[in-house]
Amino acid sequence: MKQVVASAGKVKVLVVPAPTCGPDEILVRSAFSLISTGTESWTIEATEPLTTREVVGDRSKLRKALNLTANVWKTEGTSGVIDYVKFVRNPQVALGYSVSGQVVKVGRNVTDIVVGESVACAGEGKACHAEFIAVPRNLLAKVPAGVDLEEAAFATVGAIALHGFRRSGSQIGETVGVIGAGLVGNLTVQIAKAAGCRVVAIDLREDRLELAKAVGADLTLSSEDPRLADHVLHFSGGKGLDSVIVCAATASSEPVNLASRLARDRAKITIVGRVGMDFERKDYFQKELEAVMSRSLGPGRFDPAYELKGQDYPVGYVRWTLARNLEGFLALISEKKIDTRKLLAGVYLVDDAGAAYSSLVNESKVAVLLKYDQSVSQAKELGSLGRAKQKAEGRIQVALVGPGNYAKEVLIPALRRDSSFNLRWIVSSSPLNAKRLGERYRFERYGTDYSEVLEDKDVDLVVITTPNNLHSEMVTLAAKAGKTVFVEKPLCINEEQLREVADVQRETGATIIVGFNRRYAPLVKKLKEEMVKLDGPFLLSYRVNADYISKSRWVQDPEIGGGRIVAECCHFIDLFDFLLGSGRPEIKVTTAGITDSTTVTRDNLVVALKYPEGSVASLTYSALGNRRMERERLEVFGQGTAFVLDDFASLEVIEPSGTRRFSKNSPDKGHASELQEIEKMIRGRPSSIVTFADALESTRITFEVEALARGHPAEERKADE
Per-residue pLDDT tens digits for 303-331: 999 999 999 999 999 999 999 999 999 99
For 187, residues 6+ apart whose C-beta sits below 8 A from its C-beta are: 154, 157, 158, 161, 162, 338, 343
Q: Give the pLDDT mean for 404-408.
A: 93
Query: Can you state the percent helix, strand and coil of the chain, rounding each to 5?
Result: 40, 25, 40
Q: What is the pTM of this model?
A: 0.90
Whether residue 622 is contained in a domain is answered as yes
Distance of CA 139 to the CA centre of its chain: 16
Task: Please say which residue of 514, 541, 572 terminates a domain.
Answer: 514
Are 549 and 674 part of one and the same domain? yes
Q: Phi, psi at residue 621, to the nearest 5°?
A: -120, 120
User: Higher-confidence residue: 59 or 318?
Assistant: 318
Which residue range is the domain that position 489 belongs to?
394-514
Q: Which residues of 274-309 are buried (b: 16+ CB within 10 A; e: fewer)?
A: ebeeebeeebbeebebebeebbbbbbbbebeebbbb
Whether residue 70 is contained in a domain is answered as no
- Model confidence at 383: pLDDT above 90: no
**At 540, which amino acid appears?**
L
Distance, in Å, from the CA atom of 505 to the CA atom of 691, rounded to the nearest integer, reads 12
Distance, in Å, from the CA atom of 271 to the CA atom of 244, rounded to the nearest integer, reads 9
Per-residue pLDDT tens digits for 238-278: 999 999 999 999 999 999 999 999 999 999 999 999 999 99
* CATH number of the CATH domain containing 545: 3.30.360.10
∠207-360-29 over CA atoms, to 5°?
A: 130
Q: Give the pLDDT mean for 704-708.
A: 95
Per-residue pLDDT tens digits for 163-201: 999 999 999 999 999 999 999 999 999 999 999 999 999
Q: What pLDDT score was predicted for residue 720?
A: 44
Sign of CA dihedral 143, 149, 153, 154: negative
Average pLDDT over the chain, rounded to an integer: 92
Q: What pLDDT score was predicted for residue 388?
A: 45
* CATH number of the CATH domain containing 225: 3.40.50.720
**At 69, which amino acid appears?**
T
Question: Would you call 98 helix, strand, or coil by DSSP?
Answer: strand
CA atoms within 13 A on the CB side of 208: 27
Largest CA distance in the chain: 96
Beta carbons of 617 and 634 less than 8 angstroms apart: no
Binned at pLDDT 50, 70 and 90, residue 716 comes out as very low
Structural domains in the chain (count): 4
CA atoms within 13 A on the CB side of 239: 12
Distance, in Å, from the CA atom of 432 to the CA atom of 252, rounded to the nearest integer, reads 33
Closest alpha carbon to 30 in 376, 386, 341:
376
Whether residue 165 is contained in a domain is answered as yes
Distance, in Å, from the CA atom of 695 to the CA atom of 689, rounded to the nearest integer, reads 10
Alpha helix stretches (DSSP H) within 421-517: 431-440, 450-455, 471-480, 495-508
Distance, in Å, from the CA atom of 107 to the CA atom of 679, rounded to the nearest integer, reads 37
- Model confidence at 444: pLDDT above 60: yes
Distance, in Å, from the CA atom of 440 to the CA atom of 705, rounded to the nearest integer, reads 40
Q: Spell out where 169-240 has E strands.
A: 175-179, 198-203, 219-222
Q: What pLDDT score was predicted for residue 377?
A: 57
**At 406, which amino acid appears?**
Y
Are 462 and 323 part of one and the same domain? no
Are 105 and 224 part of one and the same domain? no
- Model confidence at 25: pLDDT above 90: yes
Binned at pLDDT 50, 70 and 90, residue 392 comes out as low
Q: Give the pLDDT mean for 518-527.
A: 97
Are 34 and 96 part of one and the same domain? yes
Are 179 and 131 part of one and the same domain? no
Whether residue 377 is contained in a domain is answered as no
Distance, in Å, from the CA atom of 377 to the CA atom of 371, rounded to the nearest integer, reads 16
Q: Phi, psi at residue 403, to the nearest 5°?
A: -75, 85
Beta carbons of 118 and 146 less than 8 angstroms apart: no
DSSP assignment, residue 661? E
Distance, in Å, from the CA atom of 521 to the CA atom of 467, rounded to the nearest integer, reads 24
Are 485 and 598 part of one and the same domain? no
Are 550 and 698 part of one and the same domain? yes
Task: Please say which residue of 253, 269, 293 terminates a domain.
Answer: 293
Distance, in Å, from the CA atom of 559 to the CA atom of 627, rounded to the nearest integer, reads 28
Reported residue count of the chain is 721
Whether residue 625 is contained in a domain is answered as yes
Are 534 and 667 part of one and the same domain? yes
* CATH number of the CATH domain containing 359: 3.90.180.10
Are 315 and 195 part of one and the same domain? no
Whether the upstream peptide bond of residue 585 has omega within 30° of 0, thus cis, is: no
Other CB atoms within 10 Å distance of the CB of residue 370: 28
Report percent pLDDT > 90 for the chain.
81
Q: What is the DSSP string of 361-378?
A: SS-SS-EEEEE--S-S-H
Distance, in Å, from the CA atom of 519 to the CA atom of 583, rounded to the nearest integer, reads 17
Q: Give the pLDDT mean for 622-630.
A: 90
The helix-helix angle for 570-580 and 522-531 (nearest 10°) equals 40
Whether residue 646 is contained in a domain is answered as yes
CA atoms within 13 A on the CB side of 377: 3
Beta carbons of 20 and 428 less than 8 angstroms apart: no
Are 556 and 701 part of one and the same domain? yes
Q: What pLDDT score was predicted for residue 596?
A: 67
For residue 53, the surrounding DSSP H or E stretch is helix 52-56
User: Higher-confidence residue: 257 or 596?
Assistant: 257
Beta carbons of 18 and 384 less than 8 angstroms apart: yes
For 657, residues 6+ apart whose C-beta sits below 8 A from its C-beta are: none
C-alpha torsion 279→280→281→287, nearest 10: -100
Q: Which residues of 594-610 are buried (b: 16+ CB within 10 A; e: fewer)?
A: eeeeebbebbbbebebe
Task: Please say which residue of 266, 293, 320 terminates a domain.
Answer: 293
Whether residue 173 is contained in a domain is answered as yes
For residue 699, the surrounding DSSP H or E stretch is helix 692-709
Are 480 and 561 part of one and the same domain? no
Question: Would you call 70 helix, strand, or coil by DSSP?
Answer: helix
Q: What pLDDT score was predicted for residue 598?
A: 66
Whether residue 17 is contained in a domain is answered as yes
Are 691 and 632 part of one and the same domain? yes
